[in-house]
Structure 1
Amino acid sequence: MLEKEKLDGYFIAVDGPNGVGKSTLIEAIKNKLEVLGYAVYITREPTDTKLGNYLREFAEKHSGISLACLVAADRYEHMTNEIIPALEEGQLVISDRYILSSLILQEMDGVSATFVLTANSEIIKPDLQLAVFADERVLQKRLSERDTLTRFEKGNQSKSELDFMERGIIELRKYNIDVMNIYNNDNLEENVEKVVSYVVNNWRKV
């Protein structure tokens, strides 16, 4: 993975198992940072592009290396068309899913970490990786409240996701990526303060 050189902005990736509350956490972090004067750009993977939408459909019926390659392709487009331009403008970018999600979901599909990391070798490193955890029972309860589920959300796979996330964190730390573990059971406000304090102490205001 590449260093984020000559880009004025700050890049946070947020990953975790399905049902962990990433979207709610991201929105709360965004609101708090904007109150403090930061320009925040929220984005997600898969992207809201033709490729990203196709990927969502493809992922329901396909797995393995072909899916991992499509995920990487969407990520490169995401980086080129959204993440880097926002960083060049000095914004704080928060992405709902990034490389850690591939180390969780693609490995659950039988793809090796080596292949995933090789396919993503030209992406930029996040300044901060948030690894969001929650108790397995909390994850299953949240998923049970959803109207529709993806194949990754069906069949009580939360424990596998948590296990693969632990392994993925080890891989990311080999690249000197700063990983912050967040335990998101019922302590949203505390988690928001933790992340915002880190950003305030490690980055400048826009």
Structure 2
Amino acid sequence: MTHPGRFITLDGPGGIGKSTTLATLAGLLRERGESVHATAEPSARPIGRFTRANADHVHGHALACLVAADRYDHIRHELRPHLDLGDTVLCDRYLASTLVVQRLDDVPEPFLLNLNADITLPDLAVILTAEPAVITHRLRARGAHHRFEHDPDIPAREVDLYRQAARTLRSMGVAVLTLDTSTLTPLRAAERIRDALPPPRPRNSGDTAATAETA
């Protein structure tokens, strides 16, 4: 299903700078007059809040199902409405993170892909990466946010799994931009993403009318 807006996702290992880069990108796009909606997963909706609060206690397939349930709820109540209005939607963590974090929890990729078979795919999936030693240093400076980040072997495993996730997304027809942020500032990363964005879709009269009625 097409929509007049653009859907951009940012994924990558913990401590890589996703939130800072997303906020910087949102500012750059707003400076040039775009309507931008920034969001994240787990979402701020009830299922997302429950998932975030219990991610250290619920494991494996059960957590994967919670993440997917939140994603479908997020799509219906937040992502699709903004995309239908023609907004550029930026999401901190999406399918690529599922294909990494849930695999760290021993959930096989085919199960995850089946679970997410009906989601809205991004117009551009951005994967931020870095050298494992750089990620480890950033995590120590920031502090761990979930159980995986206490494992010193996780950064290297995540980097490898994100490479695999990028290949999987491309096989699904998703455009993927991978940026090594080892020496890249959030501003420069945001500029690179901005320059790689697909052009806005042209609005037809039906889109305009729908927007006017919603406003």
User: TM class by shorter-chain length?
Assistant: over 0.9
1:61 corresponds to: 57
Q: Which amino acid aligns with 1:58?
A: N
Matched, 1:186 2:194: no
**Structure 1 residue 17 corresponds to structure 2 residue 17:** no
1:90 to 75, 81, 86: 86
- Counterpart pick for 1:168 among 158, 165, 168: 165
Write the deviation string for residues 53-83 of structure 1: whole angstroms up to 9, x where unpaired. 2112321012111110010000000101110
Unpaired runs of 5+ residues, structure 2, are 204-215
- Alpha carbons of 1:117 and 1:19: their partners in 2 closer, same or farther (altered >3 Å)? same
Query: How big is the shift at 1:49?
Result: 1.9
Instruction: Please say if residues 4 and 202 of structure 2, whose CA atoms lie closer than 8 Å, have aligned partners that are also in contact.
Output: no
For residues 64-79 of structure 1, what are the structure 2 equivalents within 5 Å?
64-79=60-75
Q: Does residue 1:110 correspond to 2:84, yes or no?
A: no
- Normalized against structure 2, the TM-score is what? 0.89
SS at match of 1:131: strand
State whether structure 2 residue 145 is matched by structure 1 residue 149: yes
Matched, 1:51 2:47: yes
| Distance in structure 2 (CA, Å) of the matches to 1:111 and 1:155 | 18
| Cα separation, 1, equivalents of 2:144 and 2:196 | 35
Closer, same or farther: CA 95–102 of 1 in aligned 2, 3 Å: same
- Quote the Cα distance in structure 2 between the aligned partners of 1:142 and 1:85: 35
Change (3 A) 1:29 1:87: same
Aligned length: 201
Deviation at 1:15, TM superposition (A): 0.4
Paired residue secondary structure (2:150): coil
Where does residue 122 of structure 1 map in the other structure?
Answer: 118
Matched-pair identity in %: 33
| Structure 1 residue 148, shift from structure 2 partner | 4.8
Write out per-residue CA displacement over residues 139-179 of structure 1, whole angstroms, 9 at most, x where no aligned residue.
11111122453102111211111111111111111111000
Using the alignment, how far apart are the partners of 1:126 and 1:43 within structure 2? 14
Contact 2:5 2:201 in 1 (8 A): no
Structure 1 runs of 4+ aligned residues shifted over 2 Å read 146-149, 201-206
Deviations 1:29-69 (Å, cap 9, x if unpaired)? 11111111111100000011221121123210121111100
Gaps of 5+ in 1: none
TM-score, scaled relative to structure 1: 0.92
Indicate the structure (1 or 2) with the bigger Cα radius of gyration: 2
Moved more, 62-71 or 183-192: 183-192
